[in-house]
Structure 1
Amino acid sequence: MRIVRRQPVVPWYAATRALLLLLALNVLPYFNRGAVTGDVKLYHQWITESFDHGRFPLDDQKWQYPPGAAAPLLLPHWLPGSYYVLFFLMCLAADVAVFAMLLRAARRGDPEQPSPAGPWLWTLGIAAIGPMAYGRYDLVVTASAVAALTVTLRSKRSTAVARGVLIGVGAFLKLWPAAFLFGAPKRRNGRLLFGVAAATAAIPTLALELFFPGVLSFLTNQKSRGIQIESVFATPFLAGKWFGWSGHIENTQYGAYEYIGPGVSLAGKAALVSTAVGVVVLLLIRRRVAVRGGFPFPAMMADVGFAGVLVFVVTSRVLSPQYLVWLLGVAAVCLARRETLMRTPAWLVLGAVSVTQLIFPLFYHSLRGGQIYSGLILMGRNAALVVAAVLALRALWRATGPASGPVLSGVLLGEDRRDGVRLVQDEGAPLDREVGRGGVEHGPERVVDGVVGPGRVGADSLVERD
């Protein structure tokens, strides 16, 4: 493929993934083998003790997943060979699929000068997480999520259906891709996408509930969880240990180290309130979009989805390393388009990810012991994620507000500059070049101009509207 030959990121990607696979397979030694295989061992235990006997592991408090999670856990078990080796290879395949989709998205955004930022962020980010990324099934979920954001068929209707199916599959596996629905297009195709996504996730879930009563318990079985030591809301207790806070850290039944002591319950309630506030802000952004008649430029679904996932991650009571895989996948999709509003938040996420292995597993013992240096690293990581979330919401709020020129029925007139992107007149056309494959000579004047200079051709040129 031409895009592969012209992208210098490809050999770097291949080299880093070969290294990660060798580390995961223990061909090369990793300094904490348990950090790579711990979750895979738990998955295999669920299979041998529960799934092989025709039931879900509902009596284990560590099972906190939608019922669709059983599929990627069982797939390596159904194939001949070592479960561990096949699980790592499955994750590698998902990783490669994400990278290929990012290259394709970059080329579709600008055939002559594809943006290398998305593939590079994915390459560097997963490498920074290390072989732990292959020891969780989150890469499979992320592949479904990236596919939902990048798939483009020949019509708007078929694209909406495809995206809805993929979002529903992602939510069936691990819920968080449902955040993309905040960025669904307006009117008929938006309703179609939302309905297909809901049906794809709900129908198999309800069917499984009929045969395996209790599989919906994942919706409520985390209500008693405390504050995991890596989460943003653990910061007061992390610092409090340095100044005599009387609480302690305990490895709970949920399989995570959590703070136990004064103020923890209040922090848990504050986390839930913060999540609700973030959801309200995202809903208000959608309301502003409705008033204006549509999103102001193409690929806005990825930007809104990234902001939504950021909100859920930073306001969660748990923040495990695999959560960062989600953020990297969606951030990379955003950066595959030069006109994204998420450039700064996306690179902040990469900066936060860069210290992941320092926090877990390298300094995790000292973190639990209350050491200052490891605590400061964690605080810096979490601060970067919080700033990224605030900047992402701020960028969406500004982009969906009143335009500097008049807005008539969602058609932006005049000129408006936001975050280095100049929006110019649009005559109204399909989203994302989803109808046919015509170039700029077959369509209206481009919406996004001045991003890569006057020589740019083939860029997404249409206002995202239904």
Structure 2
Amino acid sequence: MTRSATGRVRPAAAVAALTLLWLLTRAVMLWLLTHDHLPWLGAGGVTHEPERLYTRWRESLDDGSYPSGDPLWQYPPGAGAALLLPGLLLPRLPYPWAFTALTLAADAAVTAALVRTGLTRHARGDGERSLLGALLWTAGLPLLLHLPLARFDVQVTALAVLALLVARRLPRLGGALAALGALAKAWPALVLAGTEPGRTTRRAWTSAGITAVTLLALLTSLFADALSFVRQQGGRGVQIESLGGTLLSFASHAGWPGRVRYQYGAMELVGPGVGVVAAASLTLTAASFALIVLWRLRVVRATRAAARAAAPHGPWDPALTHDAPLAAVLLLTVTSRVISPQYMIWLLGLSAVCLTLRRSAQRPVALLVVAATAVSALAYPVLYDEVVARTWTGCLVMAVRNGLLVAAAALSCVRLARLTPGRADEPHEGPGPASRGAGHAPTATPQGPPPG
């Protein structure tokens, strides 16, 4: 790469290198997709969804109804639009390839948006930007092998990433994009957890609410059984790849008599105590959500207190806009009953957004997410037979993957707490500009509990 006189890689060379890396890695992913029949690539399991499941659901949607009779349909109504688009936009292609083409287009849009953001300098006081986010997404997504090309999580993550990148400058657009993502897979609603209290939050959240209600009403009027997914979600159990599933898998080596069964589109554990583990997961998920809400209330109180005190710099750190959603989604991921490998696509996208900002406190968290992503590919599809059979190898792979996710969630919350308004210390150490509060007395705001 060509370097400038200051020793830094020139933007044009960096963009060219990222473009070449994207083209090479996506070509490899496409090759893997066409060779999905190989045993170590899943023996056809990865491509089953776009080739059969998504095709079947699309046919039901073409007939004007959500697949309410299918227990595998567990998605909010917006997912239907994601499944219809490939056939509508690329009608001449076989549906699975049209789906893959749209997935690659969404992937390219994420990469381009991260590159553009990384080349922006000192936007609205955010501090210096970085291309590390684009590098993480470009190099991190292929760690999941060809799985991202056979799931619609890339499209949903694209909406969440774009929402985060525009939320401060264009809060109404950010809110609308977050709502579109949430109507397909719920979790993108959390990208608004870190919006700056006041006008930005009001505009973003109002736009999200209006968009969600409008689109939901439209989908409900056009298709029958739009809310049938609620019933299917309620029946889900403990997936073998979840944290609770990993504990039960280890318990089988100590004599636990449970077994693995395919149900609700996943390999789930059944047997004595599974209901207790599922209830514990749901309780932890509810507690995590409550902590997110409490953290948000603390931020609002601290911001209002600073406004009343006419603080010259205020307590708000722009990095919170990016960092808070990653911490929130990590918390809800590790407490989930599922933790499918495609969840890592969400975390990669949110980590990439954090790394576009040099002030972000989530850099070590992003490294843990990348490591967990690599191990996820071992768990599925490479060693999935071992995981399902609950051999020691399968159990250890899942323990490492889930252990990395738990560590990432804990570290993310701790580092987010350092940025949270009301603390007396500096936000974090990093290569970015000094904290805006340097040289000023800390705001005398009561310090509440960290988010996790």
| 1:301 lines up with 2:321 in the alignment | yes
C-alpha distance 113-418 of structure 1, shift in aligned 2 (>3 A): closer
SS of equivalent residue, structure 2 residue 233: coil
CA shift digits 1:43-69 (9 cap, x unpaired): 001223x12322111110111111111
Q: 1:353 to 1:378 in 2, by over 3 A?
A: same
- Find the aligned partners of 2:253 and 2:205 in 1 and give their Cα distance: 48
Query: Which of 193, 216, 229 is the matching residue for 2:227?
Result: 216
2:362 counterpart (321, 336, 342)? 342
> Aligned partners of 1:60 and 1:295: how far apart in 2?
49
Q: Contact 2:36 / 2:47 at 8 angstroms: preserved in 1?
A: no
AA at the equivalent of 1:140: Q
1:190 aligned partner, one-letter code: T
Give 1:65-464 correspondences, 5 Å limit.
Answer: 65-78=75-88, 79-109=91-121, 115-151=130-166, 156=169, 159-252=170-263, 254-293=264-303, 296-404=316-424, 416-420=426-430, 422-425=434-437
Give, as a single letter, the amino acid of the residue that structure 1 aligns with 2:300: A
- Higher mean alpha-carbon deviation, 50-59 vs 224-233, is at 50-59
| Cα offset, 1:115, TM superposition | 2.1
Q: Is the 8 A contact 2:258 2:271 kept in 1?
A: yes
| Distance verdict in 2 for CA 1:96–1:379, change over 3 Å | same
**Aligned with residue 19 of structure 1, among 22, 28, 31:** 28
- The runs of 5 or more residues in structure 2 that have no matched partner are 1-9, 304-313, 441-452
Say if 1:182 and 1:304, in contact at 8 Å, map to a contact too: yes
Distance in structure 2 (CA, Å) of the matches to 1:268 and 1:314: 13
Deviation at 1:239, TM superposition (A): 0.6
Alpha-carbon offset, residue 290 of structure 1: 1.7
The structural deviation recorded for 1:28 is 10
Q: CA deviation at 1:109?
A: 4.4
CA distance in 2, matches of 1:234, 1:28: 27
Q: CA deviation at 1:151?
A: 2.0
Letter aligned with residue 186 of structure 2: L
Structure 1 gaps of 5+ residues are 406-415, 428-444, 446-466
Deviation at 1:340, TM superposition (A): 0.4
Say whether the 8 Å CA contact 1:184–1:190 is kept in structure 2.
Answer: yes
In structure 1, the partner of 2:449 is: none
User: Residue type matched to 1:3 in 2?
Assistant: P
Aligned to 1:441: none
Percent of counterpart pairs with the same letter? Answer: 36
Residue 59 (structure 1) aligned with residue 69 (structure 2):
yes
- Superimposed CA distance per residue, residues 252-281 of structure 1 (whole angstroms, 9 cap, x where no aligned partner): 1x1111110111111111111111111122
Aligned-pair CA distance for 1:199: 1.7
TM-aligned CA distance change 1:28 to 1:273, over 3 Å = closer
Task: Tell me, in whole angstroms, the C-alpha distance in 2 between the residues paired with 1:27 and 1:285.
Answer: 44
Please tell me whether the aligned partners of residues 315 and 421 of structure 2 are also in contact (alpha carbons under 8 angstroms): no
User: Secondary structure of the equivalent of 2:162?
Assistant: helix
Q: Secondary structure at the match of 2:232?
A: coil
> Take 2:76 and 2:130, find their aligned partners in 1: how far apart are those partners?
35
C-alpha contact (below 8 Å) 1:184/1:194 kept by paired residues: no
Q: CA offset at residue 27 of structure 1?
A: 10
Paired residue type of 1:97:
A
* Corresponding residue number in structure 2 for 1:9: 18
Structure 2 length-normalised TM: 0.85
3-state DSSP of counterpart to 1:34? coil
Q: How far apart, CA to CA, are the structure 2 residues paired with 1:147 and 1:180? A: 10
Q: For 1:345 and 1:16, how far apart are their aligned partners in 2?
A: 24
1:205 counterpart letter in structure 2: L
Please give the root-mean-square deviation of Cα atoms over the aligned residues, in Å.
2.4
When residues 375 and 163 of structure 1 are mapped into structure 2, their CA distance, relative to the original with a 3 A threshold, is: same
User: How far has the Cα of 1:288 moved from its partner?
Assistant: 2.2
What's the offset of the Cα at 1:298? 1.4
1:401 CA drift (Å): 4.7
Deviation at 1:212, TM superposition (A): 3.5
Residue of structure 1 in register with 2:45 after alignment: 35
Any idea what SS the aligned residue of 2:275 has?
A: helix
Tell me, yes or no, if the aligned pair for 1:148 and 1:164 is still in contact at 8 Å.
Answer: yes
178-187 vs 135-144, which moves further? 178-187
Deviation at 1:355, TM superposition (A): 1.5
Q: Deviations over 1:118-172 (max 9, x none)?
A: 122112221100111100011111111111011268xx5xx11111111111112
Superposition deviation, residue 74 in structure 1: 1.3
TM-score between both structures, scaled by the size of structure 1: 0.83
- Is the contact between residue 47 and residue 150 of structure 2 (CA under 8 Å) also seen in structure 1? yes
Superposed CA offset, 1:428-455 (max 9, x none): xxxxxxxxxxxxxxxxx9xxxxxxxxxx
Q: Which amino acid aligns with 2:235?
A: S
C-alpha separation between the residues in 1 aligned to 2:258 and 2:390?
11
Distance 1:417 1:93, change over 3 A: closer
**Aligned equivalents of 1:189 and 1:367: distance in 2?**
45
Q: Give the drift of 1:329.
A: 0.4
